[in-house]
A and B are shown apart, each in its own frame.
Chain A
Amino acid sequence: MIAIRRDPAAAALALMVAAAIAFGLGYPLANVLGQAVLDDLGRFDVAPIVRIFSFPVPRAVVVNSLLMGVLAATMGTLLGFAFALTTARAVRGPHRSALHYIALLPLIAPPFALALSTIFLFGRQGLLTRGLFHWETDPYGLTGLLFVQTITFFPVAYLIFDALVRQLDPALEEAALNLGASRGRILRTVVIPLLRPGFAAAFLIIFVESLADLANPLLIGGDFNVLASSAYLAIIGEFDTRKAVAYSVVLMLPSLLAYFAQRIWVGESSVVTVTGKPSGGRAQRLGASFRVGLLVVTGTVAVLVLLLYLTVLAGAFTKLLGIDNTVTLDNFKFVLGGIGTRAMTDTTFLSAVAAPIAALLGLATAYLVVRTKVPGRTVFDYVVMLGAAAPGIVLGLGILLAFNHRPFLLSGTAVIFIIAFVIRTAPVSLRTTVAALLQIDPSLEQASANLGAGAATTFRRITLPLVRRAVLSGAIFSFTRNMTTLSTIALLVTPNWRIMTSQILNEIDAQRLGSGAAYSTILIVIVLAAVITLNRVFGKAPIEVGA
């Protein structure tokens, strides 16, 4: 640790990360968030924030948002953990792979697709609820919203836990077993405490992301108004940027609190499981009844996920699903005949360029935060997290305002999209990598340093291979979210670069659900292909240390 800290390479890294964060993140965010406390003439004025708390309507919006955030984060985290435990311990072979990919599928959530499918399956005229069971359901409101949010966000928790559960040292569990602990007790007292950084990371990310999410509350939230949709309406409908920014700042406060809460909760307690020392034994199988319970939960959710995606697919290949079910290829012809092809290549290119940058920024920041004592490192950590906490439309506005004049004249170029994508997705990469780094015994790196390797060599030869899976997860997540984000890029649109999600919005607006579904299907296929390729190329090599 000491050797790394004194190494000039660490200082250089810190400077580079600081510069990148300040330019790409701090500058645009400050540009727009400053408006919460400064009026048009630059005078200090917090009236817009005060107004939110002085009236019952905006106060209710704050309470609603917190309620939704906490519930979605709790359900999503638990579900993600259940899936990780299932794929690591309860199923094997092809079932494992199938469940793994189904759990990751909702990461690829083109805007509107899941909410529209939910309405189609479970709405008032729902195919399942009304058609099969003759139930009069009403998903509009908190229930429907939580359902869609949980399905949309649990894969993030799964991504985090998947990397962590597999790196647990089986020897610890074996030791507990030898001491007479039951399987349930081992899970409670050994496994879960060791996964604390994972729980913290997953809860924080889902809390923050579900608060910032726009499309789901707009489509299925009913009268349940939340901060993100209120901020959006303030900009789009009332042209009142300061009001929107005030909502955003209020939106970020709970995120900030959640951030500090998770830091305190994870604390200094050691969760190291990757020690490099030879470890005996195999991962413990789960108790039979527990395993069955787990399989029922994850199996049910997996079926739901598949149904939702099959609905999108069915929508793409029919004239107007539910009303005219004639099978047709017209939707694809329409999409590929228009600007769909350009939107596909443009969006894929921009997303692919931004993904490794987001992953590397997350890795560099995580390394600084966990492994060095560079002053101000927690500030980096929090500023990067803000990128996920701001409502997309406000973030997009900030980026546009920051980069539409000299010397940073970037509007209309690819760079502005890449900056937006990186800001938005680096936080997840950061959290997954922080959680993974905390699992690794620093003595591994110390040993390398003692043997004469510099920080850079140690990082490349020891640290990087050990966190590779987490970095890969970050890159996959980034690519996927870049392909599916709408509110962040809504105001960045330019004829030079066509973005698939805004084309989907245009189709839905023009009542062409079929073409919207066709776009969504193409998008899902592109992302699936990319994820499978990335996993094949980078994911399979064995992790040498401790094996």
Chain B
Amino acid sequence: MKRAMAIIAALGVLIAACGGAAAPAGAGQPAASATTAANSGPCGPKGTGSLTILGTPQEEYIQGVAKAFEAECGIKTTYVRLSSGEAVAKLTADKANPQFSVWWGGPADGFIAANNAGLLEAYKPKLFDKIPAQYRDPNGVWTGIYVGALGLAVNTKVLKDKNLPEPTSWADLAKPMYKGQISMAHPASSGTAYTMVATQAFLNNKDLEKTFAYLKQFHANVLQYQKTGAAPARIAGQGEVAIGVVFSHDTVAAIEEGFKDLKVVFPSEGTGYEIGGEALVKNAPDPIAGKTFLDWALSVKAQELAATFKAYQIPTNPDAKVSEKSVKLSTVKTVSYDFQWAGDNKKAIVDRFSNEVAPAPK
């Protein structure tokens, strides 16, 4: 028993040591100074010289961007990855003592929700005017860093096995022959799935009765609502279902990871798309380094990094090269997507989906 006690005592000392060591890191950051020298290069002032990013795209991409920024601008950069919904929950809980200076990536409606909760600080990055107006908030609450179209991840092998035709439209997805063959995330937890729901609203001229009538028919074919937006690509890739509703770049990435029976199909009525945003967190621990990062992330060099980390969204900076693997938005029929409307009505629509659609019998 003595040995056990000794180990426990040693662990106790360790905890004390950790608590002590970690405290100054959180508390020791000086208040942001207002005196910042004008800087013409891609890297602005360093602030405290350290930056913590809250990122939402896939981890490899965030990690790569953090490393590239650190190397180029000399600001020590760490990150945490959370899904869009988790990110808003985390920012809300951290409000009294924010841990992150910027939130980078993830669908715009998450940024709109965060802004409505008073979690973001408007900031127009240096290249703000370079970004097409439809890809940014007019007041600079958030700025778009990438765009990606929603599509269907279709498993050709399963369709062949089941003797089913390839779906070509949203209307097809409501046909009884695809019963139990569709996977999508839950719009409450996934921006991807919400983009699909909002797309239906835009196809129906924002008539929610018609939209929900369609969604109820669609629902009868859904196997199970997933937690994360990209999961349906995996589920379709494994052949558990024939069709996944996901962003096309996630399907392309899944095919690259080896799900070779998948292919991307765009519904003929027109599809929705996401804008990945970036924004400054209110009361950020280091707003100066944060702004430097937001500026840098719109640069051609930073935007072209995406494809090297298998992120095949389309850069918003028109000067950045678009990867050959990306789906060019100009070749896809899109709906006229009203991001502000989608963001403002999200709670009501998701509530209705949770109560009327998701639990309905099939």
Chain A interfacial positions (CB closer than 8 Å to B): 55, 57, 60, 119-120, 123-125, 138, 140, 218, 221-223, 225, 232-241, 319-320, 322-324, 338-339, 349, 352-353, 356-357, 360, 397, 400-401, 404-405, 409-415, 418, 460, 464-465, 468, 490-491, 493-496, 502-503, 506-513, 537-538
Contact = CB atoms under 8 A, between A and B. Distances in A.
The 5 closest A-B pairs by CB, nearest first: A237-B188, A495-B78, A236-B85, A320-B258, A413-B22
Given A397-B89, A506-B58, A222 B240 contact: no
A290 B228 CA distance: 47
B258 A324 contact: yes
B23 interface: yes
B238 A225 contact: no
A236 B189 contact: yes
Nearest to B22: A413
Contacts of A414: 15, 18-19, 22
Given A502-B81, A513-B257, 10 more contacts: A119-B240, A222-B223, A238-B347, A323-B259, A339-B63, A411-B94, A490-B82, A491-B93, A508-B231, A509-B83
A405 B18 contact: no
A53 to B, nearest CB: 14
Interface of B: 1, 3-4, 7-8, 11, 14-15, 18-19, 22-23, 25-27, 52, 58-60, 63, 78-83, 85-86, 88-90, 92-94, 96-97, 99, 113, 117, 180, 186-190, 223-224, 226-228, 230-231, 233-234, 237-241, 250, 253-254, 257-261, 347, 350-351, 354-355, 358-359, 362
A323 B258 contact: yes
A237 B226 CA distance: 12
Contact of A138 (B86, B89, B180, B237): B180
Contacts of B351: 238
Given A236-B188, A409-B26, A511 B234 contact: yes
Contact of B259 (A320, A495, A506): A320
Contacts, number: 190
Nearest to B14: A353
Contacts of B354: 57, 233, 238
A496 to B, nearest CB: 6
Given A320-B258, A414-B18, A415-B15, A405 B224 contact: no
B150 to A, nearest CB: 17
A319 B86 CA distance: 30
Contact of A322 (B85, B187, B190, B238): B238
Contact of B97 (A124, A349, A405, A465): A405
B7 A356 contact: yes
Nearest to B258: A320
Q: Which of A60, A238, A338 has the most CB of B within 10 A?
A: A238
A200 to B, nearest CB: 28
A491 B91 CA distance: 9
Given A239-B113, A413-B19, A57 B355 contact: yes
A412 B26 contact: yes
Nearest to A225: B359
B254 A511 contact: yes
A239 B88 contact: yes
B357 to A, nearest CB: 10
B189 A418 contact: no
Given A239-B113, A323-B238, A506 B350 contact: no
Contacts of B4: 356, 538
B86 A236 contact: yes
Contacts of B234: 508, 511, 513
Given A353-B14, A404-B97, A412-B22, A239 B254 contact: no
A495 B100 CA distance: 10
A236 to B, nearest CB: 4
Contacts of B189: 232-233, 236-237
Contacts of A233: 186, 188-189, 354
Contact of A511 (B186, B240, B259): B259
Contacts of A410: 19
A125 B238 contact: yes
Contacts of A507: 59
A418 B11 CA distance: 12
A506 to B, nearest CB: 4
A412 B99 contact: yes
Given A233-B189, A237-B350, A218 B99 contact: no
Contacts of B11: 352-353, 356-357
Q: Which of A218, A339, A537 has the most CB of B within 10 A?
A: A218
A125 B240 contact: yes
A404 B94 contact: yes
A512 B250 CA distance: 12
A319 B258 contact: yes
Nearest to A126: B240
Q: Which of B1, B18, B254 has the most CB of A within 10 A?
A: B18
B56 to A, nearest CB: 10
Contacts of B190: 237
Contacts of A237: 85, 186-190, 350
A400 B99 CA distance: 12
A319 B81 CA distance: 24
A150 to B, nearest CB: 20
B350 A238 contact: yes
Given A353-B14, A418-B15, A509 B257 contact: no
Contact of B228 (A319, A401, A509): A509
Nearest to B186: A233
A237 B229 CA distance: 12
A510 B238 contact: no
B347 A490 contact: no
Contacts of A125: 238-240
A179 to B, nearest CB: 40
B275 to A, nearest CB: 19
A234 B89 CA distance: 10
Contacts of B78: 495-496
Given A238-B347, A356-B7, A397 B58 contact: no
B58 A491 contact: no
Nearest to B77: A495
Nearest to A472: B4
Nearest to A232: B189
Nearest to A360: B8
A491 B90 contact: yes
B86 A491 contact: yes
A265 B362 CA distance: 41
A360 B187 CA distance: 43
A345 to B, nearest CB: 13
A353 B1 CA distance: 17
Nearest to B229: A509
Contacts of A508: 228, 231, 234
A239 B92 contact: yes
A290 B14 CA distance: 51
Given A236-B83, A404-B96, A510-B58, A412 B238 contact: no
B89 A236 contact: yes
A223 B93 contact: no
Given A222-B223, A323-B259, A506-B58, A511 B230 contact: yes
